[in-house]
Amino acid sequence: MIRKIIKINEEKCNGCGLCAAACHEGAIGMVDGKAKLLREDYCDGLGDCLPACPTGAITFEEREAPAYNEAAVLKSKAAKQASGSASHAGLHPAGQPGLHGGCPGSRMQSISHANEKPEAPIASGASATPAVSRLSQWPVQIQLVPINAPYFDGAKLLIAADCTAYAYAGFHEDFIKNHVTLIGCPKLDPVDYSEKLTAIIRSNNIQSVTIVRMEVPCCGGLEQAAKTALQNSGKFLPWQTITISIDGRVIE
């Protein structure tokens, strides 16, 4: 039959694996570091994978393809769910880390520090006060994070410029703690963040948005993208912008 189905441009694919994670039917897999449409009959043609792709490697086409097989998809999902909570956590039943066919740096995961002991300073002469990371999820780059990641449910969203964590000494405790963190640099990333941020805010139960930027003019692009996303999402959420000076102070 002739129907709409996805098409993956391997030359544009960067191997991040986000499309495979976004494909609820399991039609996409990673082969030799590239996304592949493994099962045409698993592709429903709705395109949940398209907005997850940071490089625009996935498009639609109409061509001869097997019909969408919902029964086979449901059977495959049931088999995966039967593997238990260990697989859901990214572990094989034996407790070993699961393999990820794409870039390991893009693998989605939640992070818990509940039982973690503070790390002693590494650098000579550093403060003796132990520190604990407050990062609760991965990835953190706006371009890499999946739109429908489970950690967005009920999240307080922190949208921060890359440089802020280096300029402000207490960034983990004062900003990252109890937040889902997204970072970007509007000067170095040749993209408009507003579309991705709009999709994240619109598609998830976000509780609030905090924008942390540097005082330099180029950081205004990140603030504007976040404000545009809030407006375009159609939601009325509490939000604030905090500006950090280049010498590490919060500018009132």
CATH number assigned to the domain comprising residue 206: 3.40.50
Q: Are 65 and 1 in contact (CB under 8 A)?
A: yes
- Cα 53 to the center of its chain, rounded Å: 11
Mean pLDDT of the 12-17 span: 85
86 pLDDT tier (thresholds 50, 70, 90) = very low
Mean pLDDT of the 152-179 span: 95
209 shares its domain with 144: yes
Check whether 100 has a pLDDT greater than 90. no
245 shares its domain with 182: yes
Comparing CA positions, the residue from 179, 162, 134 lying closest to residue 244 is 162
Mean pLDDT of the 52-56 span: 85
104 pLDDT tier (thresholds 50, 70, 90) = low
Mean pLDDT of the 25-46 span: 90
At 48 the pLDDT is 80
Residue 121 lies in a domain: no
Residue 126 lies in a domain: no
Mean pLDDT of the 68-79 span: 88
Residue 102 lies in a domain: no
148 shares its domain with 246: yes
Q: What percent of the chain shows pLDDT beyond 70?
A: 81
- Cα 93 to the center of its chain, rounded Å: 26
The CA distance from 172 to 130, in Å, is 13
CA dihedral 171→172→177→180, nearest 10 degrees, is 80
Residue 179 lies in a domain: yes
Q: Is residue 167 helix, strand or coil?
A: helix
84 shares its domain with 160: no
Residue 26 belongs to a domain with what CATH number?
Answer: 3.30.70.20
Paired with 64 in beta bridges are 2
48 shares its domain with 151: no
Average pLDDT of the chain to the nearest whole number: 84
154 shares its domain with 235: yes
At 118 the pLDDT is 62
Mean pLDDT of the 75-87 span: 66
Residue 125 lies in a domain: no
Residue 98 lies in a domain: no
The CA distance from 100 to 90, in Å, is 9
98 pLDDT tier (thresholds 50, 70, 90) = very low
Neighbours of 213 (CB within 10 A): 24
- What is the count of structural domains for the chain? 2
65 shares its domain with 163: no
The CA distance from 179 to 95, in Å, is 28
Q: Decide which of 53, 88, 123 is a domain's last residue.
A: 88
Of 12-21, 54-63, 173-182, least confident by mean pLDDT is: 12-21
152 shares its domain with 46: no
Phi, psi for residue 17 in degrees, rounded to 5: 85, 5
What do you get for the CA distance between the two ends of the chain, in Å?
Answer: 62
186 shares its domain with 84: no
Phi, psi for residue 231 in degrees, rounded to 5: -65, -45
79 shares its domain with 16: yes
67 shares its domain with 174: no
Residue 120 lies in a domain: no
Domain limits for position 46: 2-88
Residue 101 lies in a domain: no
Q: Is residue 209 helix, strand or coil?
A: strand
Higher pLDDT, 229 or 252: 229
29 shares its domain with 135: no
Neighbours of 61 (CB within 10 A): 10
